[in-house]
Structure 1
Amino acid sequence: MRTTPLLDVRDLVVRYGAVTAVDHVSFSLDAGETLAIEGPSGCGKSSTALAVLRLRRPDSGEVHFEGRELTGLTEPELRPLRPRMQPVFQDPYGSLNPRHRIRDAVAEPLRLQGLRPTAGQVAELLDRVGLAPSYGDRRPHELSGGQCQRAGIARALASHPRLLVLDEPVSALDPSVRAGILNLLADLRDELGLAYLFICHDRAVVRHFADRVIEMRDGRITSR
């Protein structure tokens, strides 16, 4: 018997004025699975990711996460669910506050949950993504792009999520760095049982990294 998907998206529609960015998109994602959405720039991939995370309220459709429908929830109702689904964005520098040290950025999700993260917890998270604890004393501009993306992944892991929404996580990185980040994500998926919604325009990357791939063009799914 098929279990309930971790994420179930049904007839999702996202509009920006008269432009329909996401046009009745449906897909599901099981626990521990990697589903890639591949397509050219402007096809609606990132708008889909934002709607799944409820960082942008969709115009219609449903998003079910862990069996609960999200689109109709208020922000206070969403707050307990947000730690379970975390984003990793394309720009590793833009996703971190330039004024904050890396240790504070990594600890922020725990503080938002009313917890008091210890130095040991932060050091463990940095180590898990391949950064020495000393990197916690630095600010984003003192790290390379790959190191910043590792810090962003550590921050996403802090709240023990079940789902990571990876929006072009390697496209802003040098080719020599991309393989290291993809290998890290693969290792974390296997070690922690994470599910990934992997947004990417590079067909070769998604075919290698994902369990399943769906293609988007002009806001619609064109193949599965």
Structure 2
Amino acid sequence: MTTPLLDVRDLVVRYGTVTAVDRVSFSLRPGETLALNGPSGCGKSSTALAVLRLRRPDSGEVRFEGRELTTLTDRELRPLRPRMQPVFQDPYGSLSPRQRVREAVAEPLKVQGRWTAAGGPARVAELLDRVGLDPSYANRWPHELSGGQCQRVGIARALASEPRLLVLDEPVSALDPSVRAGVLNLLADLRDDLGLGCLFICHDRAVVRHFADRVVELRDGRVSSEWRPRSPGSGPR
């Protein structure tokens, strides 16, 4: 059996007296898409925040590539963060209005010490091309882009870190229906080409049915069921 890329056991997240995530467990293999599905307020996004250690869980285990994350200090987590990257719901809100596209995509490279004057611009152009944007978009500001284009920039920014896990928190729910399929097809291609594991947070069962290999249903912070789509991971081609 392949060691899980991500292994979550008995995860608990509380906000004061409210238990948002109640002993949730699941695992995710490399190259697989696991969807967390359920209505608003069921604990999907709180689970994603705990997985990314953007919020420390109250109890439970989160193992990424075999390493327990919940007990690590921020300093110990730092070298692991590039390998697990989020793509957020709001394509405009995830980009700074004060940064051109090239600056947004280059920022992870600079923070991680992988930027060079010679190779950096070429890497930005390569990443934009990888997500289906002409490299000339590097000179644009976020307000000059459509929602779908902004989301593609956000995906390029996530890929700059060469992650093994993408945590996709409602990545198409804010997009027009006409562009959703294109972004989902892009994510499916990246998953297959790069062998990425994807934790896919989504309330829409129709989208989940097309994109995920397995689905974990959450209700009131707990796992209510797990199922496999008839055509797992096929994407809405």
Taking structure 2 as the reference length, what is the TM-score of the superposition?
Answer: 0.93
SS at 2:2's partner residue? coil
SS at 2:57's partner residue? coil
Equivalent of residue 167 in structure 1, options 166, 169, 173: 169
1:65 counterpart = 2:101: no
- Distance in 1 (alpha carbons) for counterparts of 2:143 and 2:58: 37
1:84 corresponds in structure 2 to: 83
Equivalent AA in structure 2 for residue 31 of structure 1: P
1:178 corresponds in structure 2 to: 180
Q: Deviations over 1:177-210 (max 9, x none)?
A: 1000000001111111111000000001101110
SS at 1:37's partner residue? strand
Q: Deviations over 1:110-167 (max 9, x none)?
A: 1111221511000000000011111111111110000000000000000110100000
The CA RMSD over aligned residues, in Å, is 0.7
- Distance in 1 (alpha carbons) for counterparts of 2:210 and 2:166: 18
- Distance in 1 (alpha carbons) for counterparts of 2:198 and 2:212: 9
1:114 corresponds in structure 2 to: 113
Structure 1 residue runs of 4+, over 4 Å off?
none
- Distance in 2 (alpha carbons) for counterparts of 1:115 and 1:4: 29
Paired residues in the alignment total: 223
1:133 counterpart = 2:105: no
1:10 counterpart = 2:17: no
Deviation at residue 3 of structure 1 after TM alignment: 2.3
- Distance in 1 (alpha carbons) for counterparts of 2:32 and 2:203: 19
1:146 corresponds in structure 2 to: 148
Unaligned runs of 5+ in 2: 227-237
Equivalent AA in structure 2 for residue 28 of structure 1: S
Unaligned runs of 5+ in 1: none
Q: Deviations over 1:35-82 (max 9, x none)?
A: 000001110000000000001110111100000000111111001000
User: Alignment identity in percent?
Assistant: 83
Deviation at residue 213 of structure 1 after TM alignment: 0.4
Taking structure 1 as the reference length, what is the TM-score of the superposition?
Answer: 0.98
Equivalent AA in structure 1 for residue 59 of structure 2: S
SS at 2:153's partner residue? helix
Higher mean Cα deviation, 2-11 or 110-119?
A: 110-119
Deviation at residue 4 of structure 1 after TM alignment: 1.4
Residues 14-33 of structure 1: pairs in structure 2 closer than 5 A: 14-33=13-32
1:197 corresponds in structure 2 to: 199
SS at 1:108's partner residue? helix
2:212 corresponds in structure 1 to: 210
